[in-house]
Amino acid sequence: MKKTLHASTLALLFAAAGAFTLVGCATGGGAPVDDATLKARVDQDLKHDDSLNSHPITVRVQNGVVTLTGLVLSETEKQNAEKDVNMVGGVKSVVNHITVNDILKRQ
C-alpha cells in the first residue's frame, strides 16, 4: 500500500508541476497587457528608434498580436521595426505588413 501511495503522490506532484509550467508559459510569466497599453508601448518604442521615427508606421493591436503597416526605405528598417516590437513585453506575435519603398530613397 505504501508503494502505491508513494507512486500516486509522485504522479500527482508531476502533473501539478506540469500544469503550473503551462500556465506560466501561456501568460508570458506576467500579467496580461491590454491592447491599448500595448499599442502605446509599441508606438513609444518605434518613436525612440532613430532609423524608424520619421517613417509613417501604423500600429494595430488585437489580443496581443501587433500588426505593422506603413512605408520604410529598406528591408533592414522593416526587420528592425519587427525586432523592436518583439522586444516589447506583452507582445504575443507580430504581423509585419510594412512596405519597403526604395523609390523614396532615390528622391
For the chain, the domain total comes to 2
**For the ranges 4-8, 43-47, 103-107, which has the lowest average pLDDT?**
4-8
pLDDT band at 61 (very low <50, low <70, confident <90, very high): very high
pLDDT at 36: 95
pLDDT tens figures, 62-87: 999 999 999 999 999 999 999 999 99
Q: Are 61 and 42 in contact (CB under 8 A)?
A: yes
71's grid cell: 512605408
Whether residue 15 is found in the same domain as residue 55: no
For 23, the domain range is 1-31
Rounded to whole angstroms, the Cα distance separating 50 from 35 reads 25
Q: Are residues 36 and 25 in the same domain?
A: no
Q: What is the CATH number of the domain that holds 82?
A: 3.30.1340.30
Share of the chain above pLDDT 70, in %: 67
Question: Which position has the grid cell 518605434?
Answer: 46
Are 46 and 82 in a shared domain? yes
